[in-house]
Amino acid sequence: MLPELLQKAEKLAICHNRKIVHGSAILVMVAGIVYSFMKGTCLNFPDERQYFSIALNIAAGQGFSLDGMSPTALFPPGWPFVLAFLIKLGASCTVLHMVNFLFLAASIYVMRSILAHEKALAGAAVSSILAICYCVLFYTAGTLYPQTLFTLLVLLLIRAALDAAGSLKYALFFGLMCGLVILVHSTGVFIPPVVGLWIIFSCRDRKAAFKRVAVAAMVASACVLTWTARNYAVFHRFIPLTTHGGDTLYIGNNPHTSLRAWYNYVDDEFYQRVSRLPEAEQNRYYVAKTLEFWTKKPWDALKLYLVKLADYFNFYNNLFATKFDALKRIVMFVTYYPLLACLILRLFHARRIPLSPVERLFVIIYFASALFHALFVPRIRFRLPYDVILITHIGIMFSVLIKRQNLPECQGNRQITD
């Protein structure tokens, strides 16, 4: 009975993947519009309100500023400028939330494009269904956080990387996506070098691939350095992306850091004293204190890093602004760990069924994200774009399973082998 049900599910995915992908995207948009109207102008989290304040000031012609007077580099510019552009066009807070759901729906289509490139369209239906069932993606899209746009850009970056070695057009697009990924959320700074190295080492003509990646690197550098130059002109200090990095670094690397209370330190006298410093000086001081902790207590720092590395794969966070009640924990548990289990299962069978180059890229990005974010504070919100990569990877896994079972291709759906 069970094998027959599995075979029917596989044939459904093969024969109707296009309809399922369209249906998933439409469902996201319809549900997102309804949710946006229900939520209205509500901004629950401090970061949301800060992004929105900066965007309002940009739209009003008062520059990249929180208060409309003093310039800031608290966040990289990508997301505030997107919000400001929409506000300038007359978008309300409700419409801004709707646009986030549009980005989420677009991500489903880019996942399908990646799978089509890999001759794995049979898995597109599975990936799109997993994306809409992974509830935290929908929840995050209903905030003014940049993670949903960041997810879309990362997927576009990967899609461009698949053809970047053989096409100057795709190389230029890859470079643009690299720059935008970094400028939308600075935690994406590790992605371009990882993907660039993958392009070079996965291509037979490494010399040609290196040239394409070099072109892409110049495009990405031009995007980022424009913002860096602005920061130097304003603060007279070298601030590559943001003044928020030092604060976040210290949160995750100080003698008081623990999984039970990431943000407890913000109430102590130390924080009150540092908060009186100018913005750029705060960032510099936090970085200095972090380096002091690393050098004076290296073993404590290493143990803390390993604890945070393990916590990256946790199904919930213990943060002061995010409360996970029993129902939320159950939902997060049953939606995340099956995805992670699929990855572990695939790696377990990697010797018998070797990973394709794109599968290797997905695995590298996912674990590199863990290693990178453990330097700071592991948060589910920061992990979400990489969970979407994991969901895309599961689509490839499903297609591999179908091919190994030699299921007949559905008549009238020849695009699977396109």
Residue 319 in 3-state DSSP? strand
Residue 322 in 3-state DSSP? strand
| Alpha carbon of residue 399 to chain centroid | 24
Beta bridge partners of 65: 71
So what's the pLDDT on residue 374? 93
Beta bridge partners of 71: 65
- How far is it, in rounded angstroms, from Cα 391 to Cα 385? 10
- How far is it, in rounded angstroms, from Cα 251 to Cα 307? 14
Give, for all 418 residues of the chain, the pLDDT tens digit: 445 555 665 666 666 788 899 999 999 999 999 999 988 777 888 899 999 999 999 999 999 999 888 999 999 999 999 999 999 999 999 999 999 999 999 999 999 999 999 888 888 999 999 999 999 999 999 999 999 999 999 999 999 999 988 889 999 999 999 999 999 999 999 999 999 999 999 888 888 999 999 999 999 999 999 999 999 999 888 899 998 888 888 888 888 887 766 555 555 667 777 778 888 888 888 899 899 999 999 999 999 999 999 999 998 877 654 556 778 888 899 999 999 999 999 999 999 989 999 999 999 999 999 999 999 988 899 999 999 999 999 999 988 887 776 555 454 444 443 3
Burial-class residue 258 by CB neighbours within 10 Å (0-12, 13-18, 19+).
exposed
Q: Tokens in use for 223? A: 């995007």
DSSP 188: G
Does pTM top 0.85 for this prediction? yes
- How far is it, in rounded angstroms, from Cα 85 to Cα 386? 27
DSSP string, 214-272: HHHHHHHHHHHHHHHHHHHHHHSS--SS-SSHHHHHHHTSSTT--TT-TTGGGGSHHHH
Amino acid identity for residue 344 in this structure:
I
Q: Which residue has the tokens 């002061």?
A: 320
Q: Are 10 and 407 in contact (CB under 8 A)?
A: yes
Beta bridge partners of 322: 319
Q: Distances from the Cα of 225 to the Cαs of 150, 172, 238, 246, in angstroms? A: 19, 17, 11, 19
